[in-house]
Each structure stands twice: as C-alpha cells, then as structure tokens.
Structure 1
Amino acid sequence: MTPGSASPVKVAAEQRHIIALDLDGTVLDHGFHGAGDDPDGGRIDPDLAEAIRALHEAGHEVVIATGRSVDATLPIVERLRIRPDWVIAANGAVTLRRDPLAHRAYRREYVEAFDPSDALRKIRTQLVTARFAVELADGGFLYTEPIPTGTLPSRQRMVPFEQLLGVQASRVVVVSPDHRLEEFLDAVETLGLTHVSYAVGNTSWLDIAPDGVTKASALEVVAARLGIDRSRVFAAGDGRNDIDMLRWAAHSGDSVAMGQAVPEVQAAAGRVTGTVEQGGLLSALRVRFPELLG
C-alpha cells in the first residue's frame, strides 16, 4: 500500500513492529520556515506524516521517543494525527500510555525519578555561569534563569539554585550559552558523574536522567509489555540522546541515524539515511516497510 490509499492493509500480529521515532531533527525539521510550519514545533513533511499514519493504521506500534517534556510532546502527536498507545518523553524517564476509555488522554504509566542534588552541585563547580533546571516527576519545571522552552513543560517557576536540591526529578537540564560546544563537552567529561545517565546535545545543552534511564530502557519495557521481539524494532534518531536507542534497536532489529547526526551517533546505528532536510526518515521507512510505503 502507498500512503493515501483508501483501505489500509493490516499487518499480521507476528509481523507487527515497534517503530520508535525521535522528534527534533528526525520527524521535525527546524531549519524550514514556510507555509504549514509551526515556529515552536518545527515543520513536519506532509508525506512523512502520511507515511507514519499509514504504518500506525496498519497495526504497527508507532512509539514517539523524545527528550521533550510531556507538554511539548503530545501536541506533536496531535499534529501527526495518530493515537499511539505508548509515548516516551524526557529521554525515557516518563512513559505515557493512552487511556483506552478516553479518545486522546494519556496517563503516566512509568515515571523514573531521582534526587539531582549531587549532580547539580558537581556541575555548578565546573560551569559556574550555566543555567540550571529540573523537570519534576509530576511534570512541573523549576529553573534558575530562562531557558529556551520549546521542548520543556508549560508549568514553570523560577527559583534560587538551592530550591533545585532535594526534589524528585525526572531530568535535569543544564544550558551554558557562555561556553562553546567543545568547551562544554570538555567540562562535562571532567565531571565524573555517577549514578545518573546523561546526554549532551548539539548545542551546549546537557540532559541528565536517573541512572540507567534512556530511551532504550523505556523501549525495552514497552516491547516486553507488547510481546514484540527486538528483531521487529525499527528506531530512528539524530542526537546523542538517541545513541542507546539506536544501538539497542540495531542489535537485533533495525536502526537509522539521520544524515546530519554527528559521527558517534551515526556509528551507533545500523545504517545512515539522508538529513532531515532531505527527507531522510521517509526514505528509511520506505526501505524498511516497502509493502506499505513502496
């Protein structure tokens, strides 16, 4: 079947895949500005959106797996016009499940949290001019100075640094605009963070999650709940926070790094596709699911 066909083909239960998709830089193109563009959420190629809907309607388990907060993730799901049963936010710290009794309502099925005090104190000694924020386990957001908010929760409150300590956090965000990316990476390498998982973005942005929590760890739980073997997992992403997911999916299934991803991200994936501007995800999906999208 091709996107736009009147009656979607349904895949057999033993052929169902988990299709795990990062958002920013994978589904969402932030470099395009024009008709249909969302200045806060980025552009979604209409052909890509149609392909994702075709896979979803055929019975594959499309799982959005993003570093965004819940508040910033669900509007993108709405824009895709799909109703996935599972959504992974905050780099795996929050896993949502759709309420079967409500049309588009999601509940927090799994929430991983930790006390970020030690990590915050340690980072502050190295990055004294950085901006710090904590995404709370209940979805709130505390920050010391304004941070670009397109991917963060809407419920926010500015507080002194000390009020970030001793809370239950699903993730910590550190932004250091005074440092070049190379300087930021060097500083992070010297921190010796333990009992936390962390990923550095393409700008001077650090996401810290509870120990062992990644997109991959959340997907492993979802796969077990669904009874879908890892050989039937497809994952796509472009950032350092996607490395564990791409490596996990490539082990027995299929994973794709976007063409603009840095070399270490590309190395973690099973293969590399075109950039987001080139429609790389759509090309990769067509290769993997030709019977539906060819």
Structure 2
Amino acid sequence: MSVDFKPDLVALDIDGTLLNPDTDTISDAVKAAVRRAVDSGAHLVLATGRAFLGTAPVLDELGLTSGFALCSNGSVLVDVARREPVSVASFDATPVLRALQEHLPGAIFAAEDVGVGNLVSAPFDPDKLHGPQRITPIDELTAHPVPRLIAEWTEHDPAELAETLAGVRLPSCTISVDTYEPWVTVVPEGLSKGAALEKLRTELGIAAGRTFAAGDGTNDFEMLSWAARGVAMGQAPLDLRATADDTIGTVAEDGLAVELDRLFA
C-alpha cells in the first residue's frame, strides 16, 4: 500500500477499539484523532455489535453530528445527524433460538427492539446490554422478526462457548461469538459489518481502495478483510491479527490514535 494512503471511508469498532473496556472510557487522544479524521473530510462510520441505544452515547462523546453508524453487526443503519435508524434488516429468529437452547442449556436470551430496548428471557447486566429490558416468556421473544438475537451462556467462558458451537449450523443467520464474554450475537443471514460497509461504500461512491477499518473482535473478521487497509488492535485474538493487514497498539496504548494520526497527519 502506498505510503501516502489516506482513506475516504474510516470504519471503527467501538468496544476494545475506540473504548477501553477496562475503564469504560474513550481517551482524549483517541477523541482528538477521530476529530482530525473527520475534519480531513473522511466519512467516519462506527461499525459495532452494539444496539443503536448503546451506540448513540458514543456518537455524542465523539462529537459526531453527520454520516452513518452501523449497529447490531450491520443489521441497523443509523443516520447520525437525525439520531435514528434509516434501515433495519430483520429475520425469523425462532429456529435459531430453539437450536441455541438445545446447545447452550441455561443460556439467557435477548431480542432487540430497535430504538426501544430488548425483550429478555431473564435480566442481563445493564452495562452489557444497553437500553431498557422487558422480561418476556421465551417462546414470545421471537414472535416477530428481529434484527439481532443475543444468547449469554452464564457461568461459562467464551472459549467453552466457541468450542460448543464449533461446527454447529444454525438456520438462516450469521452468528459471532464474543471474544471476551460468553455471548453469541445472531443477525440475518449474509449480514456482517463487512457486508454492510460494502453496501454503504457503494452508495457513497467511495473507491474500494480508499477504505480503512480497525477492530478487535471475532465480529470484525469480515470488516478487516473488506477494508483496503484493515488493522487489528494489539489485544485482539491471534487469528484476527493474522487476518489483518497489520496489528497496531492495544486499546490501552491508544493504538487507534497512533494509527489515525499517521493516516491523517
């Protein structure tokens, strides 16, 4: 890649990339670097597994007032200026819910209600599942199509969860297992951060070779592969770092700020 590469579309994961999950903060250095990228004219897109309600406070903290955000692993496209979803992809999650109940006994589930909160089979930690929670009988969670279904396998660790679901084929969906928590996120088939970003890139008329992405989780594989330059955070799993074009500093080291400052000096 050319040493003078300067992207026109910058896609950034939130948790573990922009935001340090150990401190639940975005550093001043990262905020300033994001502002420089925006001021340079780049289209900056937050691409996250978070729901819209969990993404909005981050948009506010970064001072973003225009453009788009991709929430729920690409299922929900948000107009940043209006602070509201402009498109939502949903699916019948009932068969997936039943399969996950079979493979993950004791798991609790949440079905996203965009802009409202989540229907949950049991209470989730409010720091992890953003927005109001409404306890709902499990057979009613997916009575209507949803953009995102979450399963948390409480009292198990992410490695055990990943091993349990390895090779399991779930119907008509795309799944990702969280890197740090025993969570499974399920969205409509064919959707991912990368797929949603490619659609947005085309609509914005941005050249494929002028794209950049940074992430740290298993739901970032497609996004980093999609980008002309895709970088993994220093604390990311080894397989993600091996897939990325480069590995930058950890979130605690403000690795994203260093990379953005290099690109938008």
TM-score (norm: length of structure 1): 0.84
Amino acid at match of 1:20: A
- Choose the corresponding residue for 2:187, options 205, 209, 212: 209
Gap change, CA 1:167 and 1:153, over 3 Å in 2:
farther
Q: What is aligned with 2:33?
A: 51
- Give the letter aligned to residue 80 of structure 1: L
Q: In the alignment, residue 241 of structure 2 is paired with which amino acid?
A: Q
Q: Is the 8 A contact 2:51 2:114 kept in 1?
A: no
Deviation at 1:158, TM superposition (A): 0.4
Aligned to 2:250: 275
Partner of 2:60: 78
Partner SS, residue 166 of structure 1: coil
Q: Quick check: 1:235–1:254 contact (8 Å CA) kept in 2?
A: yes
Whole-angstrom distance in 1 between the partners of 2:167 and 2:204: 40
Q: CA deviation at 1:164?
A: 1.3
Answer yes or no: is 1:261 the counterpart of 2:236. yes
Is 240-249 or 178-187 further displaced after alignment?
178-187
Q: Which sections of structure 1, spanning at least 5 residues, go unmatched?
A: 1-14, 33-41, 99-103
Shift in Å at residue 21 of structure 1?
0.5
CA drift at 1:151: 4.7
For this pair of structures, how many residues does the alignment match? 259
Distance in 1, matches of 2:129 and 2:42, equals 28
SS at match of 1:64: strand
Give the SS at the match of 2:147: strand
Larger Rg: 1
1:66 correspondence with 2:48: yes
Whether the 8 Å CA contact 1:93–1:171 is kept in 2: the answer is yes
Aligned residue in 1 for 2:16: 25
**Which one-letter code corresponds to 1:211 in the other structure?**
E
Asked if structure 2 preserves the Cα contact closer than 8 Å seen for 1:122 and 1:191, the reply is no
Matches of 1:95 and 1:168, distance apart in 2: 17
Q: Is the aligned partner of 1:200 residue 2:177? A: yes
Instruction: Say if 2:92 and 2:146, in contact at 8 Å, map to a contact too.
Output: yes
- CA deviations on 1:206-249 (whole Å, 9 max, x unpaired) are 10010011111111111111100111000000000111101111
Structure 2 residue 70 is matched with structure 1 residue 88: yes
CA separation in 1, counterparts of 2:197 and 2:128? 20
Per the TM alignment, residue 58 of structure 1 is displaced from its structure 2 partner at its CA by 1.8
Give the alignment of 1:1-294 within 5 angstroms: 17-32=8-23, 42-98=24-80, 104-137=81-114, 139-202=116-179, 203-249=181-227, 253-287=228-262, 289=263, 292-293=264-265
CA-to-partner distance for each residue in 1:23-49, whole Å, 9 max, x for gaps? 0000001223xxxxxxxxx21110110
Task: Answer whether contact 2:48 2:71 (CA < 8 A) is retained.
Answer: yes
Is this contact kept in 1: 2:37–2:260, CA < 8 A?
A: no
Q: Which runs of 5+ in 2 are unaligned?
A: 1-5
In structure 1, distance between residues paired with 2:7 and 2:231: 18
Give CA-to-partner distance per residue, 1:147-197, whole Å, 9 cap, x none: 123353423210111111332111110001222323211221253213210
- Supply the distance in 2 between the matched residues of 1:31 and 1:178 (Cα, whole angstroms): 20
What displacement does 1:107 show?
A: 3.0
Q: Does the 8 Å CA contact 1:273/1:280 hold for their aligned counterparts? A: yes
1:264, distance to aligned residue in structure 2 (A): 1.6
Amino acid at match of 2:19: L
